[in-house]
Structure 1
Amino acid sequence: NSRDYFDKFHKLGALIIEPATAMVSLLDHFVRSPNAASLLLGMDEGQDTLDVEIRNKDIHGMRLRELRLPSDVLVLSVKRKGQLLVSHGYTRLRLGDIITLVGAGNSLEDLKFKFDT
């Protein structure tokens, strides 16, 4: 719980979670968007989230809208070089991008291979 170690761990790329701050943030999300919060916490049966790194050279330069994702999968975010992008259908993917998906577990499993190979 020492703040002295915060900078050291942060420089190593560790995600620092302070319990009190996390609880306040979680309650705030439940108030502002209960459906999204329950989805992200895994409270919706049959739904899951998955982070996938783009490694497939065929996807490099492709727009999100061109991915032809299953109808039960949604792209929540695109992270490039440590920065979250405000993504939309015209966002072009790059090798090394990390996309966060939400959807049915079986559909997400199938997509792992699409982005990885």
Structure 2
Amino acid sequence: MAGGNAIRGTRVGAGPMGESERGESAPRRRVSYWCANGHESRPSFAVDADVPENWDCPRCGLPAGRDEQTPPAPPRNEPYKTHLAYVKERRSDADGEAILEEALAKLRRQREEP
């Protein structure tokens, strides 16, 4: 017999957990949600809980609504923007030219100083 431990793999307090030890579970209801791909998900909520209008589909991740005929539209994907794209949104070409000239003048002054 290896180790001689008769109750191997258990811990103090382990045992069958039933309704008597945990208490009664709250009454539940299932609510159906449909996504744009036609997937149905049915999470359960407590009877007295507020049910959300939208739910994320566990299969595809799209938002799902409670109306099967008109599910929510998929979110619009914004393409990745580079740092330069954000700068161009904030500054005009004239501003860019002025900043470039200022930076070049500063570099030229630094090179001239011993």
Q: Higher strand proportion, which one?
A: 1
Pairwise TM-score range, normalised by the shorter structure: under 0.3
TM-score normalised by length of structure 2: 0.18
Q: Higher helix proportion, which one?
A: 1
Which structure has more relative contact order (CA 8 Å, sep 6+)? It is: 1
